[in-house]
């Protein structure tokens, strides 16, 4: 997750909530991608570190558990600098230029000059972030699948150029898990990312200024909901509407109970309820989700969060170095 500020409900439902569940079944690595933030925010880096701390607290509040998962800051693990450089040597330029988000982001962030080497190369950084941990799966939503596919292609190319040396000293466990190649191609673990609109009806996104934050207190949540756009067909209170054409309806589908959702459909389509009432039900549901998250977040101090990141970065560094030992050996760049 990039440290662009406090996380919002879109981040929570699209990623964090899935990650929390994965902790039950997998050994997980989660990191704050501060090097990725540099690819677009290189001109003003003043907010990256404070934002990273906010993201760490949101991770913990959301339910990532440092006793089960490794939670760290990307730039604190120096192997995240080393592997992208090596993989960059074998990644054809054309592969990077055709990444769909490359042009998309340039258009969306037209006010920033993104004609930078670092920005073009961010998929190599992303591939390295993944491959450093020799993972079986990468949990992503549908829109991120292309990045994992590119990661697989880069890994394949690496393994073709640099097969695992026959005699090496890398430990039996790793060899047993990944016997054939140094950088196994990871699979996508498709995680649900429900449609979550912001207050203006567009996709919830910090750049649109339409977010509901994981840290928003109850009055703020209610205030934001009050201004949220609704089905445009409901001009007057007596006009029937359709929750399937209303962003508030979308929120209900994600957060409300089946009973409330049934009441929303019935009341909206018959004009039996007003939008103000309907929005207050949606706010109730959001507050119910957010309260335990905010309580858990408040139970961590900033210094505790920093300690957790330091320990996570240490652990991640140990695991990443195991991979780098193999990478350097395969490339015959032994230290
Ligand atoms: S009643 Fe609810 S679902 Fe229907 S238009 Fe109003 S806010 Fe949307």
CA 255 to ligand 1 center in whole angstroms: 15
- Taking only the tens place, the pLDDT of each residue in 266-292 is 999 999 999 999 999 999 999 999 999
Are the CB atoms for 260 and 280 separated by under 8 Å?
Answer: no
Pick the range with the lowest mean pLDDT from 107-111, 221-225, 318-322. Answer: 107-111
Q: Give the DSSP letter string of 184-235.
A: PPPEEEE------B-TTSSBP-GGGT---BTT--HHHHHHHHHT----TT--
pLDDT computed for residue 168 by the predictor: 54
Protein residue whose Cα sits closest to atom 4 of ligand 1: 268
Cα separation, 5 vs 11, whole angstroms:
11
Are the CB atoms for 199 and 205 separated by under 8 Å?
Answer: no
Token digits of residue 250: 């979308």
Q: Give the DSSP letter string of 272-309.
A: -S-HHHHHHHHHHHHHHHHHHHHHHHHTS-HHHHHHHH
What H or E segment, with its residue span, contains residue 71?
strand 70-73
The reported pTM is 0.91
Cα separation, 260 vs 104, whole angstroms:
38
CA 314 to ligand 1 center in whole angstroms: 49
Are the CB atoms for 61 and 296 separated by under 8 Å?
Answer: yes
pLDDT computed for residue 179 by the predictor: 58
- The verdict on the CB of residue 326 being under 6 Å from ligand 1 is no
More confident call, 3 vs 99:
3
β-partners of residue 140 are: 190
pLDDT band at 301 (very low <50, low <70, confident <90, very high): very high
Mutate-to-test residue for ligand 1 from 243, 252, 286, highest number of ligand atoms within 8 A of CB: 243
CA 281 to ligand 1 center in whole angstroms: 11
Q: Is the dihedral of CA 199, 216, 297, 78 positive or negative?
A: positive
pLDDT computed for residue 167 by the predictor: 56
Protein residue whose Cα sits closest to atom 5 of ligand 1: 231
CA 211 to ligand 1 center in whole angstroms: 19
- Taking only the tens place, the pLDDT of each residue in 75-97 is 999 999 999 999 999 999 999 99
pLDDT computed for residue 171 by the predictor: 59
Cα separation, 149 vs 32, whole angstroms:
22
């Amino acid at each position: 997750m990039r440290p662009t500020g406090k996380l919002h409900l879109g981040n929570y439902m699209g990623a964090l909530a899935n990650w929390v569940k994965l902790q039950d079944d997998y050994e997980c690595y989660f990191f704050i991608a501060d090097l990725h933030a540099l690819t677009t925010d290189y001109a003003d880096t003043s907010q990256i570190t404070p934002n990273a701390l906010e993201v760490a607290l949101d991770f913990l509040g959301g339910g990532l558990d440092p006793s089960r998962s490794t939670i760290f800051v990307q730039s604190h693990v120096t192997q995240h600098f080393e592997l992208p450089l090596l993989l960059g040597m074998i990644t054809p330029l054309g592969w990077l230029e055709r990444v769909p988000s490359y042009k998309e982001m340039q258009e969306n962030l037209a006010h920033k000059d993104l004609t930078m080497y670092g920005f073009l190369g961010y998929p190599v950084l992303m591939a390295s972030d993944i491959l450093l941990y020799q993972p079986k799966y990468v949990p992503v939503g549908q829109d991120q699948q292309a990045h994992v596919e590119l990661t697989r292609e880069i890994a394949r190319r690496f393994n073709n150029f640099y097969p695992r040396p026959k005699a090496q000293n890398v430990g039996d466990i790793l060899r047993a898990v990944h016997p054939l190649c140094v950088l196994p191609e990871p699979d996508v673990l498709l995680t649900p990312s429900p449609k979550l609109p912001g207050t203006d009806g567009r996709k919830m996104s910090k750049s649109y200024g339409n977010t509901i934050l994981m840290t928003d207190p109850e009055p703020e949540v209610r205030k934001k909901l009050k201004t949220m756009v609704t089905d445009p067909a409901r001009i007057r209170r007596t006009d029937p509407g359709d929750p399937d054409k209303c962003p508030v309806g979308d929120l209900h589908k994600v957060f409300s109970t089946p009973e409330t959702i049934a009441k929303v459909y019935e009341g909206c389509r018959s004009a039996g309820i007003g939008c103000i009432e309907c929005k207050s039900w949606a706010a109730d549901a959001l507050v119910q989700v957010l309260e335990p998250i905010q309580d858990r977040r408040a139970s961590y101090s900033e210094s505790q969060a920093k300690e957790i990141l330091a320990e996570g970065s240490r652990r991640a560094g140990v695991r990443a170095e195991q991979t780098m030992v193999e990478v350097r050996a395969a490339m015959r760049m032994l230290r």
